[in-house]
Amino acid sequence: MLNKRDQAQDSYPAGNGTPERPRITQVDNAGESARQSGNWLVRRLFDLAGQPPVAVRLWDGSEYASSRTEPVARLHIHDRRALQKLLGNPHYEFGELYSAGRIEVEGNLAEFLDVVYRHLHKVRRDGLRGRLVRLLARRQGNTEDRARQNITHHYDIGNDFYRLWLDENMVYTCAYYPHSEAGLELAQTAKLDHVCRKLRLQPGDRVAEAGCGWGALALHMARHYGVHVKAYNISREQLAFARERARAEGLDDRVEFIEDDYRAIQGEFDAFVSVGMLEHVGVDNYGALGETIDRVLAPHGRGLIHTIGRDAPGPMNEWIERRIFPGAYPPSLSEITEILEPWGLSVLDVENIRLHYARTLEHWLERYDANADRVRDMFDDTFVRAWRLYLAGSIAAFTSGALQLFQVVFNRHGSNELPWTRDYIYREPA
Amino acid sequence: MLNKRDQAQDSYPAGNGTPERPRITQVDNAGESARQSGNWLVRRLFDLAGQPPVAVRLWDGSEYASSRTEPVARLHIHDRRALQKLLGNPHYEFGELYSAGRIEVEGNLAEFLDVVYRHLHKVRRDGLRGRLVRLLARRQGNTEDRARQNITHHYDIGNDFYRLWLDENMVYTCAYYPHSEAGLELAQTAKLDHVCRKLRLQPGDRVAEAGCGWGALALHMARHYGVHVKAYNISREQLAFARERARAEGLDDRVEFIEDDYRAIQGEFDAFVSVGMLEHVGVDNYGALGETIDRVLAPHGRGLIHTIGRDAPGPMNEWIERRIFPGAYPPSLSEITEILEPWGLSVLDVENIRLHYARTLEHWLERYDANADRVRDMFDDTFVRAWRLYLAGSIAAFTSGALQLFQVVFNRHGSNELPWTRDYIYREPA
């Protein structure tokens, strides 16, 4: 039951004082001592977050909520120092404190983060600090050495770990669900086909793949479309797995897995494809990526880039960037054009399937949660919580629109080897 | 028969002296006097144009061609002053001289221009001047008054003139050909439906249309999708025609045609659509256009912008800009994102159908040529030639990739009222 305290609006700390701002009210029975200990700090936290409809419960049992709507979930903050840290650097400390178990979310973690992200978007959009952060956000370049360290950090955690929650083909990118109720295995295969159809692959085509993960797309293209693939990756663990699969399936004459950076691609290719690599490239290197594509793509060649993106340039979440994905940056469409426009590459088709990534992540999180004990055995509790937050936070990022998923199809300026319409993508296979 | 003159490569005037540059050879019988009169100037013209495979015949009967391939067509230059003017400012003077009949093209005009555009693209891409022009190209703003003058210049030429060569519904934008052999009438109707499907129109929806031409889309949406439309235009001639049609069809209770600028749109709308207007807006006003969309689009609203574009920012052809379309500028995709990203509008789908515009223009040119005598009666020979060049030049721009045709679908940041896949566009209507 809400126990609404009658508190004057102007006693709130400074924030975006719009007339419709809801009051943060203490809703429990903890009394005066709680108010003294956490009240002011919690109000400031709600201000920073743009007044999302969530409840906060402190270490002493006192509870707070926005007066406007029913809370979506409840954030438990287990000690005073945790609350202070959260206020000092919320985007980073939320992840740190959650991983350490010093804060917890009661209710659906992804739904909690979805409403928080939506409210943060408004704060960011309107605030000066947000604009400054956006200006500074994109300046990061990954040298080849730095790229290698970053990729090792994430992808060389161990194939056994990823096997616990990815599909059987180890596809670690957004799936494509032909119907919203499709399962993960079907949707990952459908994604591979969606990409291949968009590339209009023909038997005998030479394909360059930049950032091939565990090799699922390269093997799928060779197996089902009869093409020859040179697939590049700088994660040794992934490549060992991919090469073993190519041998086991007798595809090693048609798929060459090369341990090298995209900048090292050599040859001429009928198709260039990159699925889930651009996030690790860094905007400063988009020129180098475009130059690579321009250097290796045949005159009639087609290209596809599949990447996490944003509606507008913005900062990567600091915790994700430091703890999960060093060097990662999801670009906006204007930033993606920096790869293509200087080389006169011609955009034919852009599709945004962000809700498919939310669904993919829901499937991953379900399997991850079911295997939490095995993850704990491999690592520890902090790791289990950190990756749970990463997966749930990513669901929320895609459902709230903080992240997008773009597939961009392009060819060379003036090449008229184009499909007449996009029907061919949606026609049943012959 | 080619009479190849053995001329040293280094006697050519300065240009992009790549090793593979073909020789321009005099191919006829005009002898020494011709060489003295036009030889050097013609070689310079071929250099400026990047050595396209065309022939040039001068006033004295002397003829020149690239030695590398069979000429696509033959340019006749009827006087020496015309050649000099062409060299001084080719992008502008070609149109002026062609309109005046002082130069002519023997063979297919669109094919001639296609190869010229393709070779010019290489010169521009590689040249410093091209890069400077690109930097300076986009700085043009259309105030409301200026916009009104520009639009009047082109669209108020007279409905009777456009009726001679447009389809029966007077749709003056790129059609959508479900099959490449479809006719113009069918393709224009299919385009209207393609746009309506992408907007996922529902009966009762409120639609804002910015730049409605002769009203074909507004009337189609009201007639077949049961929506209410406010359609804005600043061309008085077009609006008079559109209002008369709405009355005649009894649709004037559902379609309101408003003589005003897109900046004046008032209300809240479930869909925002603009087909063929952005070309006239000017990059400096993209912020104002985005602000308008953000101001009038409902939270669940969808938007579509259909526009001529470019692979990269570049200058509008000076002759087209001065004689045919004052104030026009086709943007690259990076420039289009300037409308959307500052407002957090979210790009869902981009489709490039440039070859459909080439086909549309072929159909228009065919009808135009068949009605050349009637155009001459309305205007004069210069006008007939100028518009013939504009139509044929536009075919060439779309076949050579100098121009693109983008349809961009978007909605608001974080709105999850999305189609699950794009199947709905390609499914047969119920």
The strand pairing partners of B207, in sequence order, are B229, B271
List C-alpha distances in Å: A81 to A41, A44, A74, A97, B185: 11, 15, 19, 10, 71
Per the CB < 8 A criterion, the answer to whether B52 and B116 are in contact is yes
| Token pair of B163 as six digits | 């009726």
Contact A351 B352 (CB under 8 A): no
Q: How many CB pairs under 8 A join A and B?
A: 120
A9-132 CATH fold: Nonspecific Lipid-transfer Protein; Chain A (3.30.1050)
Q: What is the pLDDT of residue A137?
A: 45
Whether residue B17 is predicted with pLDDT greater than 70 in this model: the reply is no
The residue extents of the domains of chain B are 9-135, 144-426
Nearest CB among A177, A349, A401 relative to B414 is that of A401
The A74-77 sheet, strands edge to edge: A24-26, A63-66, A55-57, A74-77, A103-106
- Identical fold, B9-135 and B144-426: no
pLDDT tens column, A392-429: 999 999 999 999 999 999 999 999 999 999 998 887 65
ipTM beyond cut 0.95: no
Nearest CB among A118, A178, A333 relative to B347 is that of A333
The whole-angstrom distance between B333's CA and the closest CA on chain A is: 7
Look up tokens 């650097």; give the residue. Answer: A89
DSSP helix/strand/coil, A346: strand
The whole-angstrom distance between A426's CA and the closest CA on chain B is: 6
In chain B, which residues have their Cβ closer than 8 Å to the Cβ of A338?
Answer: 334
The whole-angstrom distance between A184's CA and the closest CA on chain B is: 16
- Residues, chain B, total? 430
Whether residue A331 is predicted with pLDDT greater than 90 in this model: the reply is yes
DSSP helix/strand/coil, B337: helix
In chain B, which residues have their Cβ closer than 8 Å to the Cβ of A313?
Answer: 341
Average pLDDT, chain B: 87
Number of continuous H segments (helices) and E segments (strands) in chain B: 18, 12
In chain B, which residues have their Cβ closer than 8 Å to the Cβ of A121?
Answer: 344, 413-414
User: How many CB atoms neighbour CB B11 within 10 A?
Assistant: 8
Whether residue A1 is predicted with pLDDT greater than 80 in this model: the reply is no
Q: What is the pLDDT of residue A322?
A: 87
Whether residue B339 is predicted with pLDDT greater than 50 in this model: the reply is yes
Whether residue A76 is predicted with pLDDT greater than 90 in this model: the reply is yes
d(CA B306, CA B174): 9
Whether residue B40 is predicted with pLDDT greater than 90 in this model: the reply is no
Strand (E) or helix (H) holding B63: strand B63-66
d(CA A355, CA B420): 8
In chain A, which residues have their Cβ closer than 8 Å to the Cβ of B344?
Answer: 121, 125, 311-312
The whole-angstrom distance between B296's CA and the closest CA on chain A is: 18
B144-426 CATH fold: Rossmann fold (3.40.50)
Q: Give the count of alpha carbons within 13 A of A229, CB side only.
A: 31
d(CA B207, CA B210): 10
In chain B, which residues have their Cβ closer than 8 Å to the Cβ of A177?
Answer: 420-421
Report the share of chain A in percent with pLDDT over 70: 86
B9-135 CATH fold: Nonspecific Lipid-transfer Protein; Chain A (3.30.1050)
List C-alpha distances in Å: A218 to A229, A233, A410: 6, 12, 19
**Closest chain A residue to B401, measured at CA:** A414
The strand pairing partners of A173, in sequence order, are none
Supply φ then ψ for residue A423, to 5 degrees. -50, -40
Q: What is the DSSP letter of B330?
A: P
Cα dihedral sign for A290, A296, A301, A304? negative
Look up tokens 């235009």; give the residue. Answer: B233
List C-alpha distances in Å: B316 to A244, B143, B285, B327, B356: 54, 19, 17, 9, 21
| Higher-confidence position of A204 and B5 | A204
Whether residue B232 is predicted with pLDDT greater than 90 in this model: the reply is yes
3-state helix, strand, coil in chain B (%, to 5): 50, 15, 35
